[in-house]
Structures are given as structure tokens and as C-alpha cells.
Structure 1
């Protein structure tokens, strides 16, 4: 890891002079560029703090993300006077190179923004969309039965229209100060000169080599000479550099029209054994949506997140709202009773999620009803018993539409990445970004992988004649669990966070908020706290941690308990007297600030 970070710093130092000149309309006091030595010292300090379980502290700005290369790229932008939106563009461009299994240009993202000048929250939906030719039989075989998950994933069938490039540009247009083209300089240089393959990337490539080998471009890149790229190997991606140059020079429109869009469509539709339906019209029609934030009160704070088509903000909000009447602070993190309350609150929220939550542009979603205080109070009363709920069912939130939906069991496997940024202008950004499953569809074009996001839809359109809200429809956005979150107190941000992890994202984020607000943990301790997650009845507890001490007490309360690896990737920043950053010890990320 040290070698990886040092290599990144040397490359960033080579472009340091140009990075200092990428910012417009920045006062001399705001722009405080870092030299390579200072940046190296900060990285060393961040690593030491993470290893010691201590938060990274700063006064002016901070960035926390999943890979040191990406974090240092974002730090350079912030140090040169850029905004959180500017830094996000640089971070995402590098993540798509060094952490391609998790996010990139071929995927989608949700972004929550707090504006330091106006004190307002804005959310941007960069979720992928289904092709116009997609229909209810997309994931059914010739007999009308749902395909096996990976039979649907690998190839072109699962690929939706990517949203990340459009989201990057939309955020920059709304809140950026830096020159757009300059934000890609570090990623382009790393792609051309090579980056050091991290232990995580090498491990995942080796584990997925059979699926990656099906696509010629992915095979040549990830399996050179037929062998998986090794940890410590210097990996170059000139095709990615060329793609970034096109976007840097002419904006995201170069992604959605012209030669690149044509290449994406031809690749998706030309896969012989599992072709997709994507068209150039689908690409050209893509738009980022600005959505109303979902904000729920909790312990004197306001927890704000992403609304539909993400289920993240609503389900996190429901969990916290259901727990509001109960004194978790008095129980503490070692209490089986505390985790009974959290686990069953999560189960109740997931029951509502499975029935009601989907793309609100296509189906009516009772957003306000699901987090209404009286509805949450009625559901919270179900938690008053001393044992695990024998069963849970969706509630009946108030709404002015008929809500005759069937329950959805769509699979959402863990991958994804999260970026948290606070800049010197008082802005805060929380963005969760993904290509869905690790390595997405395993289809590579232009140096990046394409998503398999369409498999987040229900494979079945109906159950017993009743429609599923999250069914496949032309142009629709599949339901997500991504939960980028900003917590406010008195109208100002106090916590910026999010995580990868499939549908367990919701539990990871809720746990971290509870740990920080109820149990008084600093942001690094809250991020590192062992996971206990209950979505559908069985309690997942994080193996190899102190959480295993709760296995017997939870079983005694009536739960089935499964000890397993729960590999989140939480990145969080706490705001108060200065900034404190936390990076998940389960992954390779760090927090840097100044």
C-alpha cells in the first residue's frame, strides 16, 4: 500500500504546476496548493491515523474516498481552490481507473449536495436507464422463468445507459469553479504512465477471471498473457486516457453521441451469447434528474438523503424514525436489546422498501407517507416486545393513489464506491457511485467497464397477477440502495457519509449515524464499528470482530444469525470545530484534509 501511495504522489507532483492553474474566480487566500512533500506527509499521517483508529483532522477542506490515488487527486483540486464538485470530478475520473470493479464512466451515481452559500440541500440522480426496447421479459428465459443472476449479468443484456459522465458535468456546471479539462489531468497521466495495482484489485480480478475472460478487451487488460494482473504490477490504460481526453475536451456530450456512443452500443448489441438492447437514441436521450431530498428528523438532527429511484434515503430514514422513541444511548453498542431494536426496525423498513419503492417517474411512491411521523410511530410500536418479531409485513402508508403492488425480491450484490468531500467554501458533497456488481457486465469499451445495473430491476414483472413496482420498463431507472447522506443540525451539516455494499448499504449507513449520534463515537470509530445487519430476518454479523459476542444473545432473542464478511466502504466527514474524517478499515481508502 505504501508503494501504491508513493507512486501516486510522484505522478501528482509531476502535474502539480498545472493543477495550480485550473481554478477560476478563486481568491489568493482560498487557493493554498500543496507541494509533493506536504501531500506525502499528509498521506502518511492519514494512513497512520486509520491504522490507529483515529480520525484525520483538518480546518479548511477534506476528501475521503476508496483509493489513495483518487483521494490525492481530489486533495490537489481542493488545495488549489476548487470546490467539492470540482474535486469529485477528479476523484471519480481516477477511481474509474484504479478501482474499475466498483465505479466508473460506464456506471451511475447519486449525489447529495449542501450549498454553503444558500444553506440548501440538492440531490442529483445519475442512475442508469433501461433501453427503450426493454420490456417485462428482459430477464426471463424461453419458458418464462427468471434467468439465473450471472446468466443475466455477464454480457450486454444487463447494461443500462450510463449516468456518471452526465452527473459529473451537471455537478460541475452547477457548483464548479475549476477549469473542466484540468480536472482530468491526473487520471489521464496515471492511465498513460501506469498505476500500481492494489491488493484489492488484484484479488478481485483473480476471483473473477473466468467472467472477465469472456470479453476480449477486458481479457487483454485484466488478464495479460492469460494471467490476472498481480498486486504491485504497473498497469497502463491508454484507451481510458483517450476517452478522458475526449470528455475533457468537449464535455460529456462526447460520451453520449458520436464515435464513443456508437462503440458502446455496437459492443453491447454485438455480444453473441447475451446481447443487449442499448441504442444510440437511448444514449442521446439520457438526462440527469434533480430530485427532492428525503429528510427525516432524528435526535435533534435532520438526516437528508436520496429519494426514488434510490431506496436509500427513505429506508435509512424509516429505520431512524422507527428508533426515535427508544433510548439507544442508554443501551449502548454492546447491548443485544439495542441490536434487536435496530434489526427489527430495519426489517420493517425493508418490508416497505420491497413493496413500495421504485422509480417515481414510472410508479407512484408514497414518499411522504413512508416517513410521516404518525406512520412511523405506529410502526415503531411493533418494536415494543422483548423478542425478535416473528414476522414482518409492509405497512399501509397514507397516499392519494392506490398501492396495489407485489413484493420485490430483486438481487443487489455488493460493489460500488463512496466519496465524501467538504470544501473551504462551506459546501459538502456525498456521492455514491457504482457499476453494480464487481466489474459490472464484464463488458469493456474505451478503457472502462459497462454496468450491469438493469439486474437491479425485478426479474419478474408480476407476482400472482399483481404488478411489481420495480419491474423493467422502457427508460425506467432501477431501484437502488445507495444512500449518500448529509446530516444537518440547525440547518448546517455535521456529518457527510455513505458506503458501498449492495442492499446492506442501508444498514451500514444507519449504523454509522447511530454510532455517532447515539453512542458518541468519533467518525473513525463509528465507521469502524463492527457491522450487524438484518434486512429480511436473518441477522448478519461481521465475522472476526467483537460483534460475534452478540451471536448467542441474538439467537436467544429468536434470530437466525450468520457470521460473515461484511465488507463496507464507508467514508465519512464530521463537521464541528474543524473537520474530522473517517475511512473504512475494511478497504483501501483514506481521508485527507488541510
Structure 2
């Protein structure tokens, strides 16, 4: 019988002071252990779908497919089959990690200026996000199909039944979905959003209402039977193209774009961090930024402090600003990203030395070895996305971050799922004010830069030690970094580390969950030049696990509706 870790939602209001004993602890020490099957996802129905696949003897990838199919239904504001994802995989037999990149791509007819108006100025974000130009060629389904061919154990056709039945019979609208449906988001005014979530009396579904999606159930039946061709060819593909080409601002996608999409297998980017080996996806993911942040913090005394110490949060904020300055300038889907230079010990040390005693003006990007001249990036990345983690009975692990980018993506729906607005993750202006080319500019077939950073932690002898990731747009790096500091440096249980208040420092902005910091901490930050302001719209969605003493120490973000489920070891 599985063990359901019903971790208290009251941790959402966890006071930082509750973690005081951690202040004197040494950083977490890794121990080589085997793990038990588990699923951590942002919705109970998604966690159940994944654990049921594991019960049938399925692999971590099999369960990930079932989780994604369910999330597309019950958490459509965050991810879906019409979007993209990075799947980070740990192979227990070979002790290797690798990344399956299912990031969306720009259509072949895309142009660098496609998000400029007739006067050559960037379109307003609200206009762009609802346009047909916003949708990139979806990548999640083909990526999952590739991972399944290589890592699956159960037949593809058996992995969609639970999501299909739930779509046909309906599911109860959750508090989070109901809340976001009433938020001030441009997508909530989209005709497809209004039609799908509308009731006969003109109101929208609310908490506890049963929402059915027969179109999605039918699509899943075809996807199970036909494989990815059910989406990338035939009637569904034709509807995707037609929907993206519809006004306003019709897009450029073609049937050839869908047919020609290819996921990419990439080597993980790994570096030692504390007593772990930390592995992240390489560009166009921003994993290099997270590694740089953690390496900078290693050069400070943050681990000897704790969550009650304003100096610890000051160090985190200033290191974050330095990291973001570099990430924003250099990372994109280009061959010139100076990854080695950004992580070179001398360069990291030079950046860490810029952390003073008080917060000053926004830091500028540095000049790491291998860096080429690049313009100042103006990408506007909103806070959608979902992260989940699966470990199977063989010890293989999936750490996957998945997204439709904004709330309900572009607000356009096909066959019961929303289409992404991932093209708006590109910089709208291809050059900066000085005429220098921007790394993250639009180009045909290019993947937009992503903040999605599904992490895998290994012991020094390369056994699985943990995994973590988050939702949150460009704040993902801060959310994950904070949780790693809590779990590794301050030795908190993963649930407490995730529940720590969020602080996102980028450029001139210091944003955070002000009401979750004590008055003493806020005053200590103020004395160091940081005036914390309320943060961005969709809070974090961190899900993480660390293996401690041979047991799964898993946590879900109390700001969402997640669950940690485990099975007994075999």
C-alpha cells in the first residue's frame, strides 16, 4: 500500500522563525542511497495518474507521460500538450544524466521583427500574447515520444487512459484554477477561454464545479492509438495551423513546421556544488545561471547563517542580481553562449567579490571568457509553468519542467488543449538601443531562451541524491536557488525549504513575499539597501526531493495544490 505523504498546507504560512534551529547546522552531507518509487506533481490527480503507472511496473518516463496528460487537463493555466518542456533524466544503471529538450521552435517563416509594430516599436505584451504570432511549434508530445521509445517500459497506448476518463467524466475545479480564472490576465478575455470555462448563465466555473472536456478525451484516444502523429499531422495539426493563423495578428506556422519539429537530446551541464554534483539543462535553458548563482553563494558564508539572518537574504539577493545580469545578456539558443566562461572559478570569484555591504545600482553583466558583444536584452517572461519529479522502482528519475508559458498560453484552444505563447519568450526587439544584436532575438527554427531549470543532484559517486525545479518565469532561478539554500546549506526538510519566503532580485527590483518575512528581517534588509516589494503574479511552484537516510524527503510548493506520493520499495 502506498504511503501518501499529506504534507500540511499550513506550511504556506510558515514563519521564517520556525526554522531557527537550522541556523547553526552545517551544509547537508550526501549519502549514497537507493530510492523508492515516488511522484511529486502540482495537482493530486496528476500525482495519482503517475503513481498508478508506477504500480503497473511502468518506468519514470511512462509515469511522466501520464502526469503531463493529466496536468494538461486539470492545470491548463500552467502546462499542456500544446506547449513545451525540458525532461532531465537520470539512468540508475549507467549513473548518467541527459536532457530531452522539447522546447518549442519558431516557425520557418518567423522574422526578427515579427513583434514590432508599423513604427518599429515592440508590440504591447498583452497584444502579442493573444496574437496568432505568439505560438511556437509545440514540442512536449514529440519529446515525450522520443523519451518513451528510449526509456519506456509500458506500451504508449496504455499511458493516457486515466486522463482520458477524467476528461470525459469531468473533474472538480480546484481553488487555484478558479482563482486564476478571475485574475486580471489578458488571456481570460480570450474567446476560447470564455467558451471553455463559461457556464450557461454567463458566469465562469467555480471551485467544486465539475468541468468536462470531451474534445480532449477524444484527442487522447487518438494520441494513444496513433502516437505523436495524432498531433503533428492530420486533422489536429490542421486545426493548430488554422487557429494560430486566425486574427488578430495571424501567425506564420505551417503544417510543415509541425511535421518537421524535432526534439533534441543534450548532455547535462554538471558542476560540484557543496557535497553534491548539480546537473542542469544547458542553453537554451538557463541552468548555467542557476549553477553560477550556487557557485557564487559557495564563496560566501551563507551556509553558516540561516533563514533568520538578514545578511543571508542580502547575500542571496545580491548574488541573484549578478547572475541575472549575466543570464539576461548571454543565454539563448545560440552557439556562442560562454558557458565555460560563466562558470570558470576565477570569473565566479570575480563576480562574488562585487557583493558589498549594501545594495547599489543594478549590476552590469560581466565579460566571461568566450563572450561576444551582445545587446541589452528586453525579454518579458511571464510566470507560468509546472514542475514534477518521478522516480521508478529501478531508481531512474525524471525531473521535468513543462509550460504553455503564460496563463492558458495564448488563450487559443485546439481539441481541448491550449496552445502556447512561447514565441513571446523571445526578445521583441532584435537589437538594443545601440544597435547591438540581442542574443534572444527571433529566428526561424530557433528555440526561445527558457528559465525552466529541472535540476538533478548526484552524490560524488554519481548516485541519485535529489531533484528540484519550479514554475515562475524568470523567477524560477531564484525560487529554486532559495529552496536549494534551505535544503542543502541550512539542512531544512525539503518541505520547509520550499515554503521559505520567496525573494527575487533582478536588476533594480527586489520582489518577494513581504508578509512572510518577519519585521526584523525586513528591517535588516532595509538597512542593507533592500526595500522588498510584493512579487509577481503567479507565485512559485517548486517541487523537490532529497534522499536523506535512505528515505525520500519530498516537498511540494504550499502555494499550489501538489502532492508527494511514494510506493514501498520492492
TM over 0.5: same fold?
A: yes
User: Which shifted more, 122-131 or 555-564?
Assistant: 555-564
1:510 to 471, 481, 492: 481
* Structure 1 CA distance for aligned equivalents of residues 397 and 351 of structure 2: 33
Match of 1:305 among 261, 267, 280: 280
What displacement does 1:549 show? Answer: 3.8
User: In the alignment, what sits opposite 1:568?
Assistant: 540
> Residue 59 of structure 1: CA displacement?
6.0
Structure 2 equivalent of residue 321 of structure 1:
295
Q: 1:548 & 1:65 partners in 2: Cα distance?
A: 33
RMSD: 1.8
- SS of 1:64's equivalent in the other structure is strand
1:374-394 per-position Cα deviation (integer Å, ceiling 9, x unaligned)? 2112212222x3222444111
The corresponding residue for 2:325 is 351
Partner of 1:419: 388
The residue that corresponds to 2:439 in the other structure is 469
2:101 equivalent to 1:150? no
The match for 2:516 is: 545
Superposed CA deviations along residues 259-301 of structure 1, whole A, max 9, x for unmatched, are: 11111001111x2222111111111110101112121221121
* Counterpart check, 1:492 vs 2:463: yes
Take 1:209 and 1:328, find their aligned partners in 2: how far apart are those partners?
Answer: 37
| Cα-to-partner distance string for 1:182-232 (whole Å, 9 max, x where unaligned) | 1100000001111111111111122258744533x4332111323211111
Residue matched to 2:491: 520
- The count of corresponding residues between Structure 1 and Structure 2 is 542
Alignment partner, residue 13 of structure 1: none
Whether 2:234 is the aligned partner of 1:265: answer no
- Name the counterpart of 1:386: 357
**2: CA distance, partners of 1:135 / 1:218:** 28
Q: Distance in 1 between matches of 2:556 and 2:243?
A: 37
Q: For residue 23 of structure 2, what is the aligned residue in structure 1?
A: none
Among 540, 559, 562, the alignment partner of 1:586 is 559
Corresponding position: 1:232 with 2:204: no
Distance 1:202 1:49, change over 3 A: closer
TM-score of the superposed pair, with normalisation by structure 2: 0.92
1:38-66 CA deviation, whole Å, 9 max, x = no partner? 56xx5xx5335554799xxx962110001
Note if contact 2:84-2:403 (Cα within 8 Å) is conserved in structure 1: yes
Q: Which deviations, in whole Å up to 9, do the C-alpha atoms of 1:536-561 show, x marking residues without a partner?
A: 23221213213554222112111232
Counterpart of 2:405 in 1: which secondary structure? coil
* Alignment partners' CA distance in 2, 1:209 and 1:336: 34
1:531–1:547 CA contact under 8 A, matched in 2: no
CA distance change for structure 1 residues 479 and 358 in 2, over 3 Å: closer, same or farther? same
Listed as ranges, the gaps of 5+ residues in structure 2 are 15-33
Q: Unaligned stretches of 5+ in structure 1?
A: 1-37
3-state SS of the aligned residue for 2:5? helix
Identify the residue that residue 377 of structure 1 maps to in structure 2.
Answer: 349
1:350–1:48 distance in 2 versus 1, CA, 3 Å = closer
The answer (yes or no) to whether the contact 1:209–1:223 under 8 Å persists in 2 is no
**SS of the residue 2:526 aligns to:** helix
- The whole-number CA distance in structure 2 between the counterparts of 1:70 and 1:260 is 24
Superposition pairs of residues 411-450 of structure 1, within 5 angstroms: 411-450=380-419
Bigger relative CO (Cα 8 Å, ≥ 6 apart): 2
Match of 2:373 among 392, 401, 404: 404
**Equivalent residue runs for 1:40-79 within 5 Å:** 42=3, 45-51=4-10, 60-79=36-55
Structure 1 residue 316: deviation in Å? 0.6
1:117 aligned onto 2:86: no
Return the alpha-carbon distance in structure 2 between the equivalents of residues 547 and 509 of structure 1: 21
1:294 correspondence with 2:260: no
- Which residue in the other structure is 1:282 paired with? 257
Write the distance in 2 (CA, Å) between the matches of 1:549 and 1:239: 53
SS of equivalent residue, structure 2 residue 363: coil
Task: Tell me the SS of whatever aligns to 1:420.
Answer: strand
Q: Distance in 2 between matches of 1:509 and 1:564?
A: 16
Q: Secondary structure at the match of 2:270?
A: strand
> Structure 2: how far apart are the matches of 1:210 and 1:413?
12
Query: 1:100, CA displacement in angstroms?
Result: 0.6
Q: Distance in 2 between matches of 1:547 and 1:176?
A: 47
State the Cα distance separating 1:518 from its structure 2 match: 0.6
SS of 2:70's partner is helix
Q: Partner residue of 1:14?
A: none
Alpha-carbon distance in 2 for matches of 1:389, 1:320: 21
Residues 441, 182 of structure 1: alpha-carbon distance in 2 compared, 3 angstrom cutoff: same
Q: Secondary structure at the match of 1:475?
A: coil
SS at match of 1:459: coil
Relative to structure 1, is the Cα distance of residues 429 and 547 closer, same or farther in structure 2, using a 3 angstrom cutoff?
farther
Instruction: Identify which of 194, 206, 209 aligns with 2:182.
Output: 206
CA distance in 1, matches of 2:415, 2:134: 18
Retained in 2: the 8 A contact 1:212–1:222?
A: no
- Give the structure 1 partner of residue 27 of structure 2: none
Question: Tell me, what secondary structure is at the counterpart of 2:265?
Answer: strand
Matched, 1:336 2:295: no
